[in-house]
Each structure stands twice: as C-alpha cells, then as structure tokens.
Structure 1
C-alpha cells in the first residue's frame, strides 16, 4: 500500500471530513425523501484547488465539497379558467374532478361546488330529503 501524502480525516483541522459527512448526510436524507425519485442519481463532488507560491515551497489548498441531490417530484392540479366581473382572466383550483360537478368534502362533510369554495344547498336545487 502506498503511504498517504496527507490524512484526509485531519485535513484543515478536520473540516474536510466534516464537510463530506455533512453533505453525505444531506444526500441520504434526499434519498429517504418520498417526494424525490428513488432512481435518480445523487452526486458528491470534492474539488481540491492548489495554488503554489512563486518559490514552489508552499501551496494554498481551497476545498469545495458540493452535493447534488435529486430534485423533488413535480406535482399537478387542474385549474378552472374563467373571467371576473371586469372581464379579466381568473382561475380557481378544480376540486371535484369535473367542471360543474359537485363533490363531497371529506373534511367538512359538506357538498361543495367544483371549486370547493361554496357549500351547495341541495334543497334549493330541488333535492329531496
């Protein structure tokens, strides 16, 4: 085995190893996050930049540790497009699944319009008891 030139565990008073462990922990959290794609690859990149002095007796070392996690999955919804009283475009989220269809709100136990904003009075609409 080749003798190591420097001990990476003690480089920069241990800050090098600390940064790697910090970023690795973040990548592991990203892998465990169900809102990310499990199959996406994550990356941990370490860059050591050495800059020697004129006499080539000393070199400053700049250490960068960068993690590239997987992005969060996109989410979707559907908007109902309409115009307000002044004729300007407006939108509201479709809650019922189909435009103009009422739906049962499981949180409030009420029948609401397709936007989930207004409670529908079934008796006024000719519904029976």
Structure 2
C-alpha cells in the first residue's frame, strides 16, 4: 500500500496572502478589545477561521472561500444620572457625566458649557429672605451679582453672561398671591368675598361693596345706565330704598405683588346685570405692573441700604 503524500497549506500563500491579512486584522481587533478599559477584562474573545473548499469533478482543483470572524467583549455599561432643564431662551440644558453641562439648541446641536448654568436656583418667597441670603452667601459667589425684577411676582439674582451665551440664576423669589377672578361675571356672594379678601379698603371698594351687598334681584331692572356709570336702587333699611350711583372707572387696590411693598392702585370698570351678577374689568392697560416693579426695586434698595450701608447689588426693574 502506497503512502499518500501530504498536501501542505501555507496561510500566507492562500489568496495571495489575503487570508493571512484577514487573520492578522482579526487578531488586532481582539488585542484592541482586550486593552479597551470599557470592556470586561475576563471576558473570553474568539477568532474563528472558516475555510470552505468546493472541488471540481476531476478533483484536481477547488474553489476556496475564507471567512474570519471575531467575537469580542461588549463595552460595560456606565451608570449615571442625566439632569434635564431649559434656560431662559428655551434651549435644553443637559447635565451628564462628571457634572459637565451641555446646551442643546432648537436645532439639536449640543455645545459644552465651560461656565455651567445653575440647574436649581435657591427658591424663596419673601424679599427680606433674599437680602438675608445675600448677606450670608453673596460675597462667597465668584460673580458680579445683580437683582433682576422680572415681574410683580418674580425676582431673580443673576450673574454675568457666560461664554455659552447664557446667564446663571442663583436665587429666585416668587410672591405668594391668589389669582383674581376678573373680567367675568360673578354672583353676589362670590363678588363680596373677592372684594373683601383680595382688595385693600378704600372709598371706591366700599361703594361697590355696599351696592353688591344690598342688591335685590328686581333692582337690576330698575337701574339706569349711560354707558359710563350705573345707578341702581338698593335696600338701605328695613323699609327704605336708596338710589346709589356707581362711578366708572373705579380705583381699586388688589393684592397682586409682594405683600412687603405698596400695592399699586388700578382703574376698573364695574358692571352689573340681571341675576345679581357683577364683574370688574381692567382699565389701565396693565400700567400697574410698571408701578409694582418700581415699588419692588425701591424696597430692595432700601433693604440693601439698611443691611449693607449701600446698594451693594444693582437692582434692574
């Protein structure tokens, strides 16, 4: 029996060295994966070399297909917390790994902020508390602090404009006020409660309160109305009836801003209709807001003078 001659295969010669190149590339991928600190170091890696031979009928030639597959260790998950918020311009703020903050604009583009925005400003409800906080911590903040009166019910302590185009907010003061049910008709009881609980006492409020409190359902039918003022008959005693003329507009002082400052007066149009219903309509084009913001500014400056002996932090209204 004749001894078969062995056929020697050299990977460097198959496909003109292409198989060797594929194998070397796969081994390099495995080495890189092992050295990657984001992967599990003990996880097994694999390199699989598949050689497929398809001989012809004469057995003197064969088509050879070579595949090299790698099995690598996946990256290990990194647990973190992402804080989401928005800045004053509506851009989304994202705080991710290592507390670094990114600005995501309306186009979805993200930019790293070198001077991060304060994600959670200090929340306060009184202007005196704001000055107390500034006295305690203001000098320790490495920024040129300013007090911005945003509205009659909101004040912020802000810093300089950051490189990312945003301005940090360190503290926020919001007034605790109830909403006013204006420009809608209320029944007799609701109007009386609103006048007594949401308005300071003055002559015009007392006139309206007297009218509303003594209205009779049939008296609305007996009113006179010239488009400016209304006259209506009300009960003034057990058996007497008086006619009261309600001036328009009336000057009232609602509670609409911080209780520590003077409440601005506004003009209102007072109207009545059948069913003992009445309503107040604003008639000053919201000019009270300008007065309220100036009152807040003066009050804060007064507190600064009393506390620091000067206006240490500029007030912008």
Contact 1:30/1:69 (8 A) holds in 2: yes
The two structures, once aligned, show a CA RMSD in angstroms of: 3.6
* 1:14 and 2:25 are equivalent in the alignment: no
Q: Which residue of 1 aligns with 2:119?
A: 113
Structure with max Cα Rg: 2
Q: Which runs of 4+ in 1 moved over 6 A?
A: 94-97
Contact 1:43/1:68 (8 A) holds in 2: yes
Shift of 1:74: 0.9
Higher helix share: 2
Scaled by the length of structure 1, what TM-score is found?
A: 0.62
Instruction: Check 1:8–1:94 CA distance in 2 against 1; reply closer, same or farther (3 A cut).
Output: closer
Q: Which residue of 2 aligns with 1:103?
A: none
SS at match of 1:51: strand
1:75 to 74, 78, 97: 78
Deviations 1:22-41 (A, max 9, x none): 11111111111101111111
Shift of 1:111: 7.8
Instruction: Check 1:16–1:96 CA distance in 2 against 1; reply closer, same or farther (3 A cut).
Output: closer
- Count of residues in Structure 1 that have an aligned counterpart in Structure 2: 104
SS at match of 2:52: strand
Q: Which residue of 2 aligns with 1:66?
A: 69
Matches within 5 A, 1:8-47: 8-47=11-50
1:24 & 1:31 partners in 2: Cα distance? 11
SS at match of 1:27: helix
Contact 1:23/1:44 (8 A) holds in 2: yes
Contact 1:96/1:113 (8 A) holds in 2: no
Shift of 1:77: 2.1
Instruction: Check 1:35–1:56 CA distance in 2 against 1; reply closer, same or farther (3 A cut).
Output: same
2:60 & 2:95 partners in 1: Cα distance? 66
1:17 & 1:45 partners in 2: Cα distance? 13
2:64 & 2:30 partners in 1: Cα distance? 25
1:76 & 1:121 partners in 2: Cα distance? 28
Shift of 1:96: 9.9
2:83 & 2:34 partners in 1: Cα distance? 35
Instruction: Check 1:124–1:58 CA distance in 2 against 1; reply closer, same or farther (3 A cut).
Output: farther
